[in-house]
Chains A and B, each alone.
Chain A
Amino acid sequence: MSENYAPKSAVGRWFNDRLPLLNLIYGHLLPYPTPKNLNYWWTFGGILTFCLVTQIITGLVLAMHYVADADLAFASVEHIMRDVNYGWLLRYIHANGASLFFMAVYIHMARSLFYGSYKEPRELIWIIGVFIFLLMIATAFMGYVLPWGQMSFWGATVITNLFSAIPLVGESVTNWLWGGYAVGSPLLTRFFTLHYLMPFLIFALVILHVWALHVPGNNNPEGINVVQGSQDTVPFHPHYVVKDMFALVVFLVVFAGFVFFVPNLLGHTDNYIEANPLQTPEHIVPEWYFLPFYAILRSVPDKLGGVILMVSAIAILAFLPWLDTSKVRSAKYRPLYRQFVWLFFANVILLGYLGAQTADGLFLIIGRIATAYYFAHFIIILPLLGYIEKTKPLPKSLSEPVLSPEERQMKAAASGASA
């Protein structure tokens, strides 16, 4: 595909002969053969790229006005809100953008789980994705600390204190992270620099993610192998460029709804109170997108145990391609997995709900059951399903489930006539 590409202009040819950058872009964005049956759940890859670029651009401008100092940070954010031209817009896009980024990434991951996109030969794409998710978590957490409100400060205190659970060296590690003996300016400054750095690491991983994707090509809702360039594929442009753009604009309507009409709905009111080390908020809660993991952390009475379990909850995702023993990818052809994957989604949402409640009484008990189930899904249910599940017969090609028998006959007759 890309080898045949020749730029139309003389300048383009001159450039491309010396550095085939245009070849690369052309091959990956224009004729790239894509399964023709991708549904709207597949549009979130493009949406996520948009989210990342938006966060980087708005973040860049915010960083020009933000001051990373414990005494000045809160006021500098308000300065952005009040005095910087359209600073309020930039900040609301950036703050809500983080939430929508996570909304999109959770849908993207759920799609992969449902259609088995993490399976052979796409294991590496998935693993790179897990690392992207990990970096997103770190970036978002550090970003939330920067406005230096009460939740910023106490969230940073709770999370950095988790490192003190490490045996023997825990306290030294925590003090090293803090750059002192408490959460304060040194921590804020290093969080700011790391918050600035990480999106570029994410960007690099996204390039690897897409590169690795374009080797085997996209998975699809049927989960069957598709011959690239066959009648089962369509060129990425214009088919998926336009479809992705349509989905992106619909996504942007939701995004704009948050930014312009309820910009503080997803935030916490306490973060409009400047950080006060002497006054602990009544409930310290993380941003909504961390709540399931927060619930897992709190379901263990032991600090170290909680930390290990929370980290494992994310780390276990990287092993998913081997924990799932079924050869069939799509849940459409896996009647049992189809039910269990929905149960898993429901369980994660339940954990999210519990993460926002106080960890005691009935909530704590349910939280422990839900945590146990989260892990059971990966280490008991998925390995077993591959052996006991009777999967449905897979179609031979994408055209089979899409076309009715008559249409297929007509199509075969037409192609026979033209040959």
Chain B
Amino acid sequence: MKEPMHPDWSFEGPLGKFERASLQRGYQVYTEVCSGCHSMNLLSYRNLIEEGGPEFSESQAKAMAAAFEVKAAPNADGEVEMRPAILSDKFVSPYENEQQGRAANGGAYPPDLSVMVKARHGGADYLYSLLLGYVDAPSDIKLDDGVYYNEYAKGQKIAMPQVLYEDAVVYTDGTAATPEQMARDVTMFLTWAAEPKLEARKRIGFKVISYLLILSVLLYFTNRQIWKDTH
């Protein structure tokens, strides 16, 4: 298993932030490429407009939600109809249940991606590398049906096929959709999804530590003053 690549992430470091445009493109990659198989059960469409995230406008997010259908509450006749999703709805899953997901993917269930970045050793670096790690298998390795060769996967084998090809999406902001660009954007998006309060956390943390450091200096001198006559 190869050590993951380590691109420069804007969200690293004590004052790190997400790149807004990258998060927005990442959402596009998720919906157009990943969401065919992977759910994100813990996210709601309203999260897309929240501070520290992709920060789509409310009307944009409403339109994005409305592109999906969810079951409505039972009507007066007890029938359940479909309605367009609204901001308060959770991201719509590709499958009704896990069994359906397995059946559609040769027995392997595509895991939920909501906290994936925090659930894998190596986090964002690992996911980014994995998405780009598809190379031709060495001739001495035999792969079963539905198993693919990936340099960064455990044992170099993975049940997910390569999905990021040149121009797999057409970015609405005109950015060239190279595999590297898409992997970067969707990994940034997944990092935000796993840790939506990252920006606030680092911002507050910086203030808290500054405050504590100043307080500790004051207490240090107070302490010295109090003890100066004790030998």
Listed in ascending order, the chain A residues whose CB lies under 8 Å from chain B are: 36, 75, 78, 81-82, 88-89, 92, 234, 238-239, 242-243, 245-246, 249-250, 252-253, 256-257, 259-261, 263-264, 269-270, 272-273, 399, 402-403, 407, 411
Contacts and interface: CB of A to CB of B under 8 A. Distances in A.
Contact of B204 (A234, A245, A260, A273): A260
Contacts of B212: 249, 252-253, 256
A81 B179 CA distance: 32
Contacts of A89: 201, 204
Report the interface size class on chain B. Answer: 20 to 34
13 contacts: A78-B42, A82-B196, A89-B204, A243-B223, A246-B220, A246-B223, A253-B209, A253-B213, A259-B205, A260-B205, A269-B123, A272-B118, A399-B231
A249 B47 CA distance: 35
B114 interface: yes
A371 B226 CA distance: 46
Given A82-B42, A82-B196, A269-B118, A260 B202 contact: yes
Contacts of A92: 201
Contacts of B59: none
A159 B25 CA distance: 45
A148 to B, nearest CB: 13
B42 A249 contact: no
Nearest to A263: B201
Interface of B: 14, 41-42, 47, 111, 114-115, 118-121, 123, 194, 196-197, 201-202, 204-206, 208-209, 212-213, 215-216, 219-220, 222-223, 226-227, 230-231
B221 to A, nearest CB: 9
A242 B231 contact: no
A263 B197 CA distance: 12
A91 to B, nearest CB: 10
A238 B216 contact: no
A238 B209 contact: no
By Cβ-Cβ distance, the 10 closest A-B pairs, closest first, are A260-B205, A272-B119, A246-B219, A272-B118, A249-B216, A88-B197, A272-B115, A273-B119, A242-B223, A246-B223
Given A78-B42, A270-B119, A245 B201 contact: no
Given A78-B42, A242-B219, A249-B219, 5 more contacts: A239-B227, A259-B205, A260-B201, A272-B118, A273-B111
Contacts of A411: 231
A199 B205 CA distance: 27
